[in-house]
């Protein structure tokens, strides 16, 4: 993620949630949140000190396309205990959860 234009971190040791894949027929049922929590628990069990994600802030748009949601809505990360670190643009938010 070091070369990413949307992702700048000061934590090179961070584990990263880079995307969520939820089939169309199963969306809007809380699965992304379960995936986020599962990823956090797995990272913690493997000794991670920090997990990051680059979320999309859906509150800034009337409608967000599914193509923009692959990284995960900000609300999913916040509900999973992440905090906002910085904004790389109006919509992209670097989030972090530390243990």
Q: ∠ at Cα 43 (3, 85), nearest 5°?
A: 50
pLDDT class of 6 with cuts at 50, 70, 90: low
CATH of the domain at 42: 3.40.630.30
Number of structural domains in the chain: 1
C-alpha 31/C-alpha 29 separation (Å) is: 6
Note whether residue 86 is domain-resident: yes
What pLDDT does residue 17 have?
93
Structural domain span for residue 57: 15-98
pTM for the predicted model, two decimal places: 0.84
Task: Answer whether residue 4 is part of any domain.
Answer: no
Write down the pLDDT at residue 70.
82
pLDDT at 40: 97
DSSP letter at 50?
E
């Amino acid at each position: 993620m070091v070369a990413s234009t949307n992702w700048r971190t000061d934590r090179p040791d961070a584990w990263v949630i880079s995307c969520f894949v939820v089939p169309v027929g199963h969306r809007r049922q809380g699965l992304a949140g379960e995936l986020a929590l599962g990823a956090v628990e797995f990272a913690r069990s493997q000794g991670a000190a920090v997990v990051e994600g680059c979320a999309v802030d859906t509150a800034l748009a009337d409608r967000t396309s599914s193509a923009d949601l692959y990284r995960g809505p900000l609300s999913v990360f916040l509900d999973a205990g992440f905090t906002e670190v910085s904004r790389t643009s109006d919509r992209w938010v670097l989030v972090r959860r530390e243990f």
